[in-house]
Amino acid sequence: MSDSSSSEPPENRRNRPRPRTIKSGKLFFGGFHKTVFDCLVLDLSETGVRIETAVMIDAPETAFLQIQDEMIGPMTKRWTAGNQIGFEFAPRGG
């Protein structure tokens, strides 16, 4: 179960290290009327991502992330801390 009310990123609970990076991206969510927020990608790994938005948002449990021309998702929200949000990528089917 996710802990969306955590006040700090759960960095010590990661299964794999998540290298720090600074990239611009866009967070997408919603159905027919898509909502898009510009964001910074702070860490990125094969299993998840930590992003930061300019303002605090109430991100839903499922979203997509665009970095340059690559769309990533679906992703599941695992935690929030201020303007930062941690997402876990959905497992890829083989």
Which of these, 44, 49, 62, lies nearest to 88 by C-alpha position?
49
The 10s digit of each residue's pLDDT in 1-13 is 444 444 445 555 6
Report the 10 Å Cβ neighbour count for 81.
16
SS3 label, residue 59: coil
CB-CB neighbours of 20 under 10 Å: 10
pTM (predicted TM-score): 0.77
Q: Which domains does the chain have, with CATH numbers?
A: 11-89 (2.40.10.220)
pLDDT of residue 88: 96
pLDDT tens-digit series, residues 20-74 = 778 999 999 987 778 999 999 999 998 999 999 999 999 999 999 999 999 999 9
